[in-house]
Structure 1
Amino acid sequence: MHRSYSMRSTRAPTASQIQNPPPPPSSTKSGRLFGRGGLGHALRRNTAGAFGPDLAKKLSQLVKMEKNVMRSLEMVAKERMEVAQQLSLWGEACDEDVSDVTDKLGVLLYEIGELEDQYVDRYDQYRITMKSIRNIEASVQPSRDRKQKITDQIAHLKYKEPNSPKIVVLEQELVRAEAESLVAEAQLSNITREKIKAAYSYQFDALREHAEKVAIIASYGKHLLDLIDDTPVTPGETRPAYDGYEASKAIIQDCEDSLTNWVAQNAAVTAKLSTRARTLSQRRRNNIKARTEGQVPGHGLDLSAQDAPLSDRDAWVPAGQHGEEYAAEEEEGVGEEDDVDAPSHTVVDTEASPNGEQRGRNHDPVGA
């Protein structure tokens, strides 16, 4: 600030910065084409989902809306620092106690503006991670489109030329396209779950740190206000000389020490789940852990102890199509890593009879 002890002087990194190094400056702080105002906000919001693959349109719009949020946060941070400076300048002409306290309050408010600016940088880490999900969605769209296009071509030929030899060729292409799409969809599912947990961990950790530090500053600001003598005086009466300079400086120093030593482990606000919420959450985590431990790397899932039927009927494939599926996967280069989560099926031996009927192993009914 302009004359008092300032928290903005050069200092060593805080404990939280050592534990969690700050990210690079936000990507929204440069390259502004339409400035800070509403035109850029409205343009980004309205055009975000107008281009690109259908699968990624909704997330593209979310990413652009978050960019608007970050631009707004930047503006708030800058204007808060300007307000802090103006408060200190106004207080210069007041009585000694008001002048000293408003100057120190300006220091605290300026620090809040700096914290908000740092929060924007950490918020950008969340937004960048969400953008990576959007990029994966965009890369999956071509495989979906190719499969749909082949399906439409087969349906058209079966309607126009039921005996066309192209149908067989297209059906083989469809098998390969389905295998390719299956791998892409599995990757999208896995990456989405991984990235969304990482993205919102960035946001909530940043929000928690920002909120805790703002609460610390607000508490010390209240202590500063106690230094102002608001006892009414009669006209012509002189107030006692102000003797709180050292006290106000000590309060600022204590505030800086509190901010410097703050770490997430010592946060004052913690989430306390009810017994029911804690039990249900733990049950969910145990279920996930049990399924994870049932996987043997390189050997798919261990289903030896599982006797419950599959709940997804679409997961079943007719026996005669298994050979084509596996052959298609080999052609596309699908390895064991891509099939870790695929359930193992037993292929039924079939052979064609002279009249074209498919015959398989006959299982005698019990008691026959």
Structure 2
Amino acid sequence: MHRTYSMRQSRAPTASQLQNPPPPPSSTKSGRLFGKGSLAGHALRRNAGGAFGPDLARKLSQLVKMEKNVMRSMENVAKERMEVAQQLSLWGEAGDEDVSDVTDKLGVLLYEIGELEDQYVDRYDQYRVTVKSIRNIEASVQPSRDRKQKITDQIAHLKYKEPNSPKIVVLEQELVRAEAESLVAEAQLSNITREKIKAAYTYQFDALREHCEKVAIIAGYGKHLLELIDDTPVTPGETRAAYDGYEASKAIIQDCEDALTNWVTANAAVSSKLSTRSRNLSQRRRSIIQARNEGHDLSAQDAPINDGSSWVAREDSEEEDDQRHSVLDSDGGMNGGEHRGRTQEPIAA
């Protein structure tokens, strides 16, 4: 009679989504042939990530694979939290009126946390994709390093075997060109790494801040719901007073919905305040960076290297690799047709 299976009657964009449009679904939610990942599959992906590709990009490649494991684990947590929320609501149905109503509304709040976690995975993927772009530039720099090293080794070999060989002069000229190319590539790597690492973790921390603030909001309203349960002990045979909190519980849910809908970063309750010493040291660092950058235009150095022999060309094979290994992740079921969300029934006004 009073069951409510969704917090919102409609899914209109929130103020935060209007200010910062949500990203597309994460890459881990598509292209999977089998079910939820296992710990063995996680370990396989993590180890495989650092076993292939150029030496320069192996460590970051392994990090990218590990982050994919994190995201898939978060997907499972989000899904299971929504299932738990539904089960709580079903369990409370048979209880007294106050317990039934409050557990139902608590299920609504917990389900909303699951949906927030699912949205967080999408924003977390922005961070991971940006980190992958650093891995790609690392991989593109490796050929120039290898070429320079190869020429250096050839020169050393000839000087040892044939000190008067005319090839030495030719190779030394090639080495000069290779060093110039390598210098440009290393500058690109340095510049892009700094730019992308700041962008990547800005995505992650902004998403984490929004997620945690909204979960804190839900937790606060959840405690208000608990106050509607009368936990005064009764003696055997005594009858509790009739429950009259239906309107109050619906109002609390509505207040929570409004708080989530209207939340924006500018109104965040938690702020990170630096001490005077930290602020002064940070400002000094920013001033030094600004002074170094004045009069230097390095934008032309940020053009990506286009090397057909680069490992970057194999970037799109990552999902294919995961599918080949996904049989180890299978728990016996397909998840391509999973249905998100609970049956929505509008809250009575």
Q: With structure 1 as the length reference, what TM-score do the two structures score?
A: 0.80
User: Which residue matches 2:77?
Assistant: 76
Alignment CA distance shift 1:242-1:338 (3 Å): closer
The alignment partner of 1:162 has SS state of: coil
Higher-helix-fraction structure: 2
CA drift of 1:11 comes to 3.1
Partners of 2:8 and 2:257 within 8 A in 1? no
Cα distance in 2 for partners of 1:66, 1:4 equals 36
The alignment partner of 1:32 has SS state of: coil
User: Which residue matches 1:286?
Assistant: 287
User: Which residue matches 1:252?
Assistant: 253
Cα distance in 2 for partners of 1:338, 1:257 equals 47
Partners of 2:85 and 2:108 within 8 A in 1? yes
CA displacement 1:23-46 (0-9 Å, x = unmatched): 000110122256322232111011
User: Which residue matches 2:221?
Assistant: 220
User: Which residue matches 1:19?
Assistant: 19
Runs of 4+ in 1 over 6 A off after TM superposition: none
Paired residues, what number? 301
CA displacement 1:257-316 (0-9 Å, x = unmatched): 000000000100000111111000000111111111232x5xx8xxxxxxxxxxxxxxxx
One-letter amino acid of the counterpart of residue 161, structure 1:
E
Question: Can you give the 5+ residue segments of structure 2 that lack an aligned partner in the other structure?
Answer: 303-349
Cα distance in 1 for partners of 2:277, 2:103 equals 48
Task: List aligned pairs for 1:1-368, cutoff 5 A.
Answer: 3-4=3-4, 6-33=6-33, 35=35, 36-295=37-296, 297=297, 337-338=300-301
Cα distance in 2 for partners of 1:229, 1:56 equals 60
CA displacement 1:291-349 (0-9 Å, x = unmatched): 11232x5xx8xxxxxxxxxxxxxxxxxxxxxxxxxxxxxxxxxxx9449xxxxxxxxxx
CA drift of 1:108 comes to 0.1
Cα distance in 2 for partners of 1:52, 1:125 equals 23
CA displacement 1:27-73 (0-9 Å, x = unmatched): 10122256322232111011111100000000000000000000000
Cα distance in 2 for partners of 1:95, 1:53 equals 64
Cα distance in 1 for partners of 2:176, 2:169 equals 11
Which structure has the greater CA radius of gyration?
1
One-letter amino acid of the counterpart of residue 251, structure 1:
I
Partners of 1:34 and 1:40 within 8 A in 2? no
Cα distance in 1 for partners of 2:11, 2:33 equals 35
Partners of 2:3 and 2:101 within 8 A in 1? no
Cα distance in 2 for partners of 1:194, 1:31 equals 30
Cα distance in 2 for partners of 1:8, 1:48 equals 41
The alignment partner of 2:239 has SS state of: coil
Query: Identity, % of aligned pairs?
Result: 87
Q: With structure 2 as the length reference, what TM-score do the two structures score?
A: 0.84
CA drift of 1:9 comes to 2.7
Partners of 1:91 and 1:99 within 8 A in 2? yes
CA displacement 1:156-198 (0-9 Å, x = unmatched): 1111111111100000000000000000000111110000000
Partners of 1:8 and 1:111 within 8 A in 2? no
